[in-house]
Amino acid sequence: FPSRIFVNCSLALETIRCFGFDMDYTLLSPASALQHLPSLAALPWPCTRPTLSQCFPTSPSHGFVSPSRAEIWNYDPNKFIQRDDMKRFHILNTLFNLREAYLYTCLVDFFTNCTCDTGYKHGNLFMSFCSIFQDVREAMDHVHLLGCLKEKMLENLEKFMVKDPHVRVPLLLSPMKEAGKGFLATNSDYNYTDVSTQLPATPRAGRLWRSYFNLIVVDTRKPLFFTEGTVLRQVNTDTGKLWIGTYTRPLQHCAVYSGGSSDMVCDLLRVKGKDILYIGDHIFGDILKSKRRQGWRTFLVLPELARELHVWMEKREIFKELRRLDVQLADSSCKAEPDCSRGCREVGEGHLTWLGAQIQFGSSQPQSPELQGTCQLLSLQLEQGKPEAV
């Protein structure tokens, strides 16, 4: 199942002239953070390695406690969510957001056991759950902008990144580049991209990872990349620094650029939006924005869907039984007699098809006038919509 492709809209691949890729969770797979959960020294943490449930992303909870029906009615008596009231919600677009959500869950669980229902109160100090969430969000943005998170990852990259033992990434990129143009657009900086993309070993010794792409853009700042974008600069691949000024020359082989926009990508590659198939994992930043703003064809990578498909196939008999019981339950309150005309018609059509095939193709024996008369009678009854037993 991890290698299956599901199509929502038919697409002729011969019309695609360019293949675009995101990097993290698309070409590269970061390792699970379960074994590397950090202990927070600034907090009186009761447990440095909390247990992570597999149903954590899909089960509603307050901290690690699932609220009862009475508690839900107490928090929201109307049980109605206004779509415009987005201040109460934060959408998790990628798997990386699970780390952030889990950290927030740990904090809510800890402070809930210490104080009141709406936050933490100690003397004159009050810290609401909303302010805790804002602190977590700002902390995550801070470590990203500062770069310290990826610096720690680069110190021991094999610990945080899954290495592909079958070397499938180069085998994927090589034929795609032969069939059309390829580009890489990532929000990561050049130093992190340069080191992490070398982790999947290439089948050809000494081949640069940059040679698999016609265009490489780092620091894209998606989803801003799909609107007005930022200044396009060329990266000095020897030092990792940016050249001063906006890049205005034609596309160079194995060159790396920083910033820019999706319009600049189309101009450099000399393609239109409908000619691009973009592959990424970010529902909002990669898929929705690229399709709605630029008309790119999109390919969403969902590694977490593999387990759901496995369960669906393994328990398919149970799902069939549930569907049968659901239909039976829906018909149990019906007082009208079941309409059997459609079933009779389908049976009659099936017999007619078989008899016709016997007469025209299938029978090696001469057909009797009685058999031919039966077929004519069935044809007449089917045209009138009243099939009867013959």
Peptide linkage before 200 cis (omega within 30 of 0): no
Amino acid at 163: K
CA distance 212 to 173: 6
Backbone angles phi, psi at 179, to 5 degrees: -80, -25
The neighbour count for residue 136, using CB atoms within 10 Å, is: 17
Instruction: Evaluate whether 19 touches 279 at the Cβ level (below 8 Å).
Output: yes
Q: Distance of CA 242 to CAs 47, 74, 324, Å?
A: 44, 55, 63
Instruction: Evaluate whether 185 touches 27 at the Cβ level (below 8 Å).
Output: no
Structure tokens at 326: 């659901």
76 counts as catalytic = no
Instruction: Evaluate whether 303 touches 240 at the Cβ level (below 8 Å).
Output: no
Residue with tokens 């990386």: 96
Which 8-state DSSP code applies to residue 383?
H
The three-class DSSP label of residue 365 is coil
CA distance 281 to 213: 19
281 counts as catalytic = no
Nearest C-alpha neighbor of 223 from the set 140, 278, 274, 289: 289
Where are the alpha helices (H) located in the chain, listed in sequence order? Answer: 69-75, 97-112, 129-146, 148-155, 157-160, 168-179, 190-196, 262-269, 289-294, 305-314, 316-332, 341-357, 369-384
Contacts of 125 (CB under 8 A, 6+ apart): none
Angle between helices 341-357 and 369-384 (to 10 degrees): 150
The neighbour count for residue 342, using CB atoms within 10 Å, is: 8
Q: Which of 22, 194, 219, 286 is catalytic?
A: 22
Show which residues are catalytic.
22, 24
